[in-house]
Amino acid sequence: MKQRIKSGKSIFFILLMTLILPSAALANIDNLTNMSAEWMRTSNRNAATDATDIVVYNPAGLVKLSDGFHINLSNQTMDRGPKHSFNMGDGKQEYKQDSTDWFIPNFYAAYKKDNWAVFGGVYIPGGGAVADYPNGSISTVLMGSQMIQRGYGEVAGLEAAGMVPAGTSQMPGLFSYDGDSLEASSLYLTTTLGGAYAVNDKLSFAFGLRYISAKNTTEAGLTFTSALEGTETEYKMDTEDTADGFGAVFGVNYAPADKWNIGMHYESKVKLDFETEQNRDDFGISKDGEKNRRDFPGMVGLGAAYDVRPDLTLEFDFNWWFQKSADWGSDTLGRDYSDMAGDCYSIGTAAIYKANPKLTVSGGILFTKFLFDDMDAYYTNMGAYEVLYSDNWNISGGCGYEVIDGLKLNLGIGVTLWSDESMKALAAQPMDLSVDTENSTWTVSVGFDWNFGGPKKK
C-alpha cells in the first residue's frame, strides 16, 4: 500500500492543493506548430507558398497557388515520453506517460482564382494529446496524501471527544492508499475561415476568423484504506471543462525579389472561460458549474524563404506567443499563471530539395524557448508536471512525392527533445521537495495535398 507524507508538514501541502486544484484546468501547451505533414518534414512553414497547409502558416501566400481547388489532409501519431520523479523521504518515486496518441488530424481547403483566394480549415493548435499515467503521478500523490490527512484529522476529532484512546491520531499507518491513476486530455479544436487578396505580384494580404472549441477532461482515482475501521474505499474524480471563443487572423506575404519570399501572420488572443461539469468527485476538489479563465494566447509568425537554386530552397522561421497577455487565472496568492510562465518563442531553419520533378526531400530544426518568470511557481498549476513545459529542440525530415498530376503525398518524422528540469515543489513547503522532469517525443505524420479543378502551378 502507498502511504506518503505522514508528518504534520503535509498540512501545508494539502491546504495549497485543496485551493489550487479546483481553480485550474489541466495545464496545456498552447504553442504547437506541428499542424501538417509538410511542417513535420520541415519544422518551418511561415514563408511557404507550395501547399494548402499554409492556411495556418502563411494565409496571404495562398494567392501564390495555382487557380482552382486545393485540399490538404494529414494525421500525426505521437509517442510521447514525459516523466517526473521525486523523493519524499521513503525512496524515489517515478511516474511516466504510458500510451501513444494515434490520431491527431488536420484539414485545410482553399479556392484560388486570379488575384484572390478563400480558405478554411480545421486543426488543433493546442492540446490534442492524452496524459495517461496508469500508476498515478504527483497529482494523485497529492490527492492521496490529502485523503490521509483528512483521515488523521477525523481521528483527532474522535480522540478529543473521547471516542478513541488518546494518542490514536499519532499512530502511523492508520491510513494508506493504492491503485492511484490519472488520465487527462486536452483538445483545442479550431475552425478558421478567411480570404486573401494580391495587390500585385509582390504583395498580398489575408484576413480571417477562427473559432476555438476547447475541452479538458480529467479522470483520477485511488483506493483509500483505513486500518482503524478495516475498510477500503474507492475514490474517483471525473470532470470535464469546456469553453469556446473567437479570434482574428491577419497575414501579409511579400516577395521583394524573384528568389525571396517573406510571410507573416498574426493570430489574436481567444478568450476562453471554462465551465466545469462534475460527473463525479469523491475528493471534493472541484465545483460543478464553476468557471475558470484560460485564454488561448495570441501569436505572430514570421518567415523568409530563399531559392538558392531552382531545386534548393532554404527557409527561416520565427514565432512569438504572447502568453503574458492571456488570462490563465491565478494561484492562492493572487499571482497570475501567465505572468509566471512568461512569453515563449521559437526559431528555426529548413532546407527543401527537389530531387526530381516528382520527389521532394526536406529537413529542418526548430528551437523553442520558454521565458519563465517563475518556473517553480508555475508548476503548482495542476497537470504541469504531467505535460511538461521546458525548452526543446525539434528535428524533423521527410519527403513529398507527386503520385499523379496535382496530388502529392507527404511523409514526415520528427523527434522533440526537452531540456531536463529540476524544480522546487513550492506546495510542499516547509518540506524541501524537488521534482525532476525529462521528456522526448517521436512524431510520424502522413498526408496529402491535392490541387484539382484548375491548371497545375508552373
pLDDT in tens, 79-109: 988 899 988 777 888 999 888 999 999 999 9
Mean pLDDT (the chain) is 88
Give the pLDDT score at 163.
85
In this prediction, residue 10 has a pLDDT band, given cuts at 50, 70 and 90, of: very low
Give the pLDDT score at 356.
96
**Mean pLDDT on 44-49:** 97
Tell me the pairing of strands 298-309 and 312-322: antiparallel
Give the pLDDT score at 458.
44
HEC readout, the chain: CECCCCCCCHHHHHHHHHHHHHHCCCCCCCCCCCCCHHHHCCCCCCCCCCCCCHHHHCHHHHHHCCCEEEEEEEEEEEEECCEEEEECCCCEEEEECCCCEEEEEEEEEEEEECCEEEEEEEEEEEEEEEEEECCCCHHHHHHHHHHHHHHHHHHHHHHHCCCCCCCHHHCCCCEEEEEEEEEEEEEEEEEEEEEEEECCCCEEEEEEEEEEEEEEEEEEEEEEEECCCCEEEEEEEEEEEEEEEEEEEEEEEEEEECCEEEEEEEECCECCEEEEEEEEECCCCCCCCCEEECCECEEEEEEEEEEEECCEEEEEEEEEEEHHHCCCCECCCCCEHHHHHCCEEEEEEEEEEECCCCEEEEEEEEEEEECCCCHHHHCCCCCHHHHCCCCEEEEEEEEEEEEECCEEEEEEEEEEEECCEEEECHHHCCCCCEEEEECEEEEEEEEEEEEECCCCCC
Give the pLDDT score at 28.
55
Please tell me the distance from the alpha carbon of residue 116 to that of residue 60, in angstroms, as a whole number.
9
The end-to-end CA distance of the chain, in Å, is 68
Give the pLDDT score at 427.
60
CB 435 within 8 A of CB 422: yes
Q: Render pLDDT for 132-151 as a digit per residue (tens, 0 to 9).
A: 899 988 888 877 877 888 88
Pull the grid cell for residue 341: 510562465
Pull the grid cell for residue 121: 480549415
Q: Render pLDDT for 369-389 as a digit per residue (tens, 0 to 9).
A: 999 998 888 877 667 778 877
Q: Which residue has the cell 462534475?
A: 278
Q: For the chain, which residues make up each domain, given as ranges?
A: 10-452
Give the pLDDT score at 431.
65
CB 133 within 8 A of CB 95: yes
CA 5 to chain centre: 31
pTM for the full predicted model: 0.89
Asked if pLDDT for residue 27 goes beyond 70, the answer is: no
- Picking from 448, 355, 454, 443, the residue whose alpha carbon sits closest to that of residue 77 is 443
The neighbour count for residue 334, using CB atoms within 10 Å, is: 6
Asked if pLDDT for residue 11 goes beyond 90, the answer is: no
**Homologous superfamily of 10-452:** Outer membrane protein transport protein (OMPP1/FadL/TodX) (2.40.160.60)
CB 19 within 8 A of CB 161: no
Give the pLDDT score at 266.
98
**Mean pLDDT on 48-77:** 97
Please tell me the distance from the alpha carbon of residue 127 to that of residue 297, in angstroms, as a whole number.
13
Please tell me the distance from the alpha carbon of residue 265 to that of residue 368, in angstroms, as a whole number.
18
Give the pLDDT score at 453.
66
Q: Render pLDDT for 297-337 as a digit per residue (tens, 0 to 9).
A: 999 999 999 999 999 999 999 999 999 999 998 877 788 98
Q: Higher pLDDT residue, 332 or 179?
A: 179
Give the pLDDT score at 14.
40
* Residues whose CB is less than 8 angstroms from the CB of residue 325 and which lie 6 or more positions away in sequence, other chains included: 269, 297, 298, 338
Give the pLDDT score at 384.
76
Most confident of 9-18, 166-175, 427-436, 445-454: 445-454
Give the pLDDT score at 138.
84
Q: Higher pLDDT residue, 389 or 156?
A: 156
* Residues whose CB is less than 8 angstroms from the CB of residue 436 and which lie 6 or more positions away in sequence, other chains included: 84, 85, 86, 420, 421, 422
In this prediction, residue 346 has a pLDDT band, given cuts at 50, 70 and 90, of: very high
The neighbour count for residue 356, using CB atoms within 10 Å, is: 9
CB 398 within 8 A of CB 362: yes
CB 174 within 8 A of CB 153: no
> How far, in Å, are 198, 231, 251, 370 from residue 28 at the CA level?
37, 37, 26, 14
Give the pLDDT score at 426.
67
Q: Render pLDDT for 221-242 as a digit per residue (tens, 0 to 9).
A: 999 898 888 888 898 999 999 9
Give the pLDDT score at 21.
42
Give the pLDDT score at 5.
42
Q: Render pLDDT for 270-285 as a digit per residue (tens, 0 to 9).
A: 999 999 999 999 888 7
Give the pLDDT score at 12.
36
Q: Which residue has the cell 493570430?
A: 267
Give the pLDDT score at 167.
83
Pull the grid cell for residue 354: 527537389
Asked if pLDDT for residue 19 goes beyond 50, the answer is: no
Asked if pLDDT for residue 444 goes beyond 70, the answer is: yes
Asked if pLDDT for residue 110 goes beyond 80, the answer is: yes
Pull the grid cell for residue 185: 486530455
In this prediction, residue 295 has a pLDDT band, given cuts at 50, 70 and 90, of: very high
Q: What are phi and psi of 238, to 5 degrees?
A: -140, 100
* Residues whose CB is less than 8 angstroms from the CB of residue 257 and which lie 6 or more positions away in sequence, other chains included: none
Query: Any idea which of 9-13, 28-32, 312-316 has the lowest mean pLDDT?
Result: 9-13
